[in-house]
Amino acid sequence: MLFLRRLVHVCCPSAPAGSVLDSRQCVFALTLLTLLLQVVVEANSWWSLAMNPLLIPEAYIIGAQPLCSQLVGLSQGQKKLCQLYQDHMQYIGEGAKTGIRECQYQFRHRRWNCSTVDNSSVFGRVMQIGSRETAFTYAISAAGVVNAVSRACREGELSSCGCSRAARPKDLPRDWLWGGCGDNLNYGYRFSKEFVDAREREKSYAKGSFESARLMMNLHNNEAGRRTVSDLAHVSCKCHGVSGSCSLKTCWLQLADFRKVGETLKEKYDSAASMKLNSRGKLVQRDSKFNPPTSHDLVYIESSPDYCLSNQSTGSLGTVGRLCNKTSEGMDGCELMCCGRGYDQYKAQIVERCHCKFHWCCYVKCKRCTKTVDQFVCK
């Protein structure tokens, strides 16, 4: 990494004098950077940072100014933040990636499986529809960024934040110490809000327009994602004292495992509120029978396509070729997954760990067995 840092430095107009690299190495570095930059062109959202190999901190050393402005996925405000907080960009990319990965896990058995279409547009046109799926995607990406930035603060990776300085919880037993180095949720939340919401905040649309409804929807779901991370954060403690007596405890603020965030947001997806614009240009729930959604809930404004067939105009990839479960009556069952088109049956060989034995002490040894299973694939 140090080598790369030097390479990058030498080609930068602001590189310190007396750099030791020769021109061949310089050409190599420039070629590398050009390649990296090509990947991000055409990107239309900060989500593209997740796909972006640029997110090596070293790349930001080359007078980050031009680099930030070339990141096409960023809005004007996000480019400014990129310049001011260069060391944060890597974690924004990681956060987006964590969010997308978790989305794919949560939706692995659904027709829409959160697959990314290509590196540049990330999710393709599906996100142009103000659907539940879009709501989930915005929320989990924003949540991913809170998660990544809060952790990076704790780990000392960022110059403008450190361990959490959250106040001691009132219900913490008196003799427990508060002040282990915690995840800096406060900073992560604020930075994520500023960065992720910047894109929406820069726009202004006519009151009552569809675009204004979509903008409010996006902001609401970004916030719901951040609050989910915040709601799930908890106090974690460690024992000290002579030979594990636990006479002394040190406690700190800890973010929940991101899987838990994914599960919670998936539940919120299932109970997301359908919204419409009222005459004063505000989003209100379509069905006033239900309690109005809070800032912790997901909201959407358009119904979802059925995602059955590939459709260029909606961006749906369709379910042709997807695996399904013959005996399940859920969304992963062949009937629903294949939208009634039927399925093909294959014999597939899978390799498993088997005949596992426990050996004293302490490991488990397994054999590998091959097993033939029936697989069902949508027509």
Ligand X SMILES: *[C@@H]1O[C@H](CO)[C@@H](O)[C@H](O)[C@H]1NC(C)=O
Residue 250 vs 328, nearer CB to ligand X:
328
Q: Which of 19, 311, 331, 341 binds ligand X (CB under 6 A)?
A: 311
- Cα–Cα distance, 10 to 26 (Å, whole number): 7
Stretch of residues binding ligand X (CB under 6 A), selected from 19-27, 153-161, 201-209, 306-314: 306-314
Residue 116 binds ligand X (CB under 6 A): no
- Cα–Cα distance, 217 to 23 (Å, whole number): 51
Stretch of residues binding ligand X (CB under 6 A), selected from 3-11, 29-37, 256-264, 325-333: 325-333
Stretch of residues binding ligand X (CB under 6 A), selected from 5-13, 147-155, 236-244, 317-325: 317-325
CB of 375 to ligand X, least distance (A): 9
Stretch of residues binding ligand X (CB under 6 A), selected from 155-163, 164-172, 228-236, 315-323: 315-323
Residue 86 vs 120, nearer CB to ligand X:
120
Residue 274 binds ligand X (CB under 6 A): no
Residue 134 binds ligand X (CB under 6 A): no
Size of the site for ligand X (CB under 6 A): 18
Residue 97 binds ligand X (CB under 6 A): no
Residue 352 binds ligand X (CB under 6 A): no
Residue 39 binds ligand X (CB under 6 A): yes
Residue 75 vs 115, nearer CB to ligand X:
115
Residue 328 binds ligand X (CB under 6 A): yes
Sort 20 into a burial class: Cβ within 10 Å, 0-12 / 13-18 / 19+. exposed
Residue 43 binds ligand X (CB under 6 A): no
How far is Cα of residue 82 from the mean position of the Cα atoms in its chain? 18
Q: Which of 245, 313, 370, 372 binds ligand X (CB under 6 A)?
A: 313
Q: Which of 134, 314, 337, 339 binds ligand X (CB under 6 A)?
A: 314
CB of 167 to ligand X, least distance (A): 42
How far is Cα of residue 91 from the mean position of the Cα atoms in its chain? 11
Residue 264 vs 319, nearer CB to ligand X:
319
- Cα–Cα distance, 209 to 174 (Å, whole number): 55
Placement of tokens 């930001």 in the chain: 60
Q: Which of 25, 75, 115, 128 binds ligand X (CB under 6 A)?
A: 115
Neighbours of 280 (CB within 10 A): 8
CB of 320 to ligand X, least distance (A): 7
What's the Cα-to-Cα distance from 85 to each of 57, 148, 335, rounded to whole Å?
A: 11, 14, 50
- Cα–Cα distance, 127 to 139 (Å, whole number): 13
Q: Which of 25, 116, 119, 285 binds ligand X (CB under 6 A)?
A: 119
Contact by Cβ (8 Å): 246, 239: yes
Q: What amino acid occupies position 312?
A: Q
Residue 44 binds ligand X (CB under 6 A): no
Q: Which of 79, 220, 268, 322 binds ligand X (CB under 6 A)?
A: 322
Q: Which residues pair with 235 in a beta bridge?
A: 253
What's the Cα-to-Cα distance from 49 to each of 43, 85, 91, 128, rounded to whole Å?
A: 9, 15, 10, 19
Residue 327 binds ligand X (CB under 6 A): yes
Q: Which of 113, 236, 285, 304 binds ligand X (CB under 6 A)?
A: 113
Contact by Cβ (8 Å): 314, 126: yes
* Contact partners, residue 288, CB within 8 Å, separation at least 6: none
- Cα–Cα distance, 75 to 97 (Å, whole number): 19
- Spell out the alpha helix ranges (H) of the chain: 2-10, 23-40, 64-70, 76-84, 89-106, 132-154, 185-201, 210-232, 258-270, 334-337
Residues that bind ligand X (CB under 6 A): 39, 108, 113, 115, 118-119, 305, 309, 311, 313-314, 317-319, 322, 325, 327-328
